[in-house]
Amino acid sequence: MYKSSILIVGLCLAVVASASPSWRGRIAGGTDAGAGQFPYMVSLRDSQLVHFCGGAILNNRWIITAGSCAVGRVPADVTVLTGSLSLTEGGTNHQADRIVIHPQFDESTLVNDVAVMRTRTPIVLNGDTFALRMASNYLSMGYGALISGWGRQAIDSPEFPDRLQYITTTVITHTECSNRFEPPYDQRIVESVICTANVEGFGACLGDAGSPLVYNGELHGVVSWGIPCGMGHPDVHSRVTSHRPWVLVHTMV
């Protein structure tokens, strides 16, 4: 097991090292997404239209992402790309006009790591772009879940893939997830998170925060934190069923 001195981070913009470099991550060990495969996927972009986080479409005005993706950002500096598997071609850019972060989001522990964003203009829902239904049933474990995202393949990879990447992953129990982390990180495995696990070389990476965890066609999680990237430890997501009432209240069209 990796010792607790290994850096465990939110999978958002950056990992703090000696020179505090900025890494933007993708699914480690991922496969190119096929046409029409992830029509609910969005790329969140900064004022320079650089991808910084993922998200998923909930309806024609609202998307869901991680709270860590929204902290310190204002709507005028966030653009939502919908309807494309590419970061450089196709799709539609929507200016955000409202950002709501979960009121109990804790930046230090990443508990309640969820936020919603509203687009200034409606998202046109069609064959390439449609909303993802939030799960209402509690999932304790399951095989064949999907995580999708953009960015680097590994923490030291020099390249950014243009094509959306995805992996198939396994939802594991809270007990197994907690047992695979050393203190104090095992204490972060609370009821409001859901964990996935893969063999080494596959998993969420820096920059994948906010991306959807989907099982049986429903949104069960929002990528939150882990040990990047694909190092054999679980990936931790905000559990959608725990936050569903809050999300519904804030995303009425």
| Annotated domain spans of the chain | 21-32+133-239, 41-131+244-250
- CA distances (Å), 135 to each of 58, 209, 230, 242, 248, in order? 12, 19, 26, 10, 12
Q: Return the pLDDT at 159.
A: 62
The pLDDT assigned to 166 comes to 94
Helix (H) or strand (E) holding 144: strand 142-149
For residue 153, the model assigns a pLDDT of 63
Closest by Cα among 135, 131, 136 to 62: 131
Neighbours of 234 (CB within 10 A): 26
Give the per-residue pLDDT at 1: 26
Handedness of CA 187, 193, 194, 200 (dihedral sign): negative
Q: Give me the tens of pLDDT residue by residue for the chain, a chain 253 residues long.
A: 222 333 455 665 433 222 222 222 346 778 889 999 999 999 999 999 999 999 999 999 999 999 999 999 999 999 999 999 999 999 999 999 999 999 999 999 999 999 999 999 999 999 889 999 999 999 999 999 999 998 666 677 656 678 999 999 999 999 999 999 999 999 999 999 999 998 888 888 877 999 999 999 999 999 999 887 888 899 999 999 999 999 999 998 6
CA dist 90 and 195 (Å) reads 33
Give pLDDT, residue 4.
31
Q: Is residue 143 helix, strand or coil?
A: strand
Phi-psi region of 76 (alpha: psi -120 to 50; beta: other; left: phi over 0): alpha
Which CATH number among 2.40.10.10, 3.40.190.10, 2.40.240.10, 3.40.50.620 corresponds to the domain 21-32+133-239? 2.40.10.10
| 41-131+244-250: CATH superfamily | Trypsin-like serine proteases (2.40.10.10)
Q: In angstroms, rounded to a whole number, what is the distance separating the alpha carbons of residues 195 and 188?
A: 11
What is the CA angle 74-77-78, rounded to 5? Answer: 90
pLDDT on residue 7 = 44
Distance set, CA 222 to CA 35, 99, 143, 233 (Å): 23, 16, 17, 17
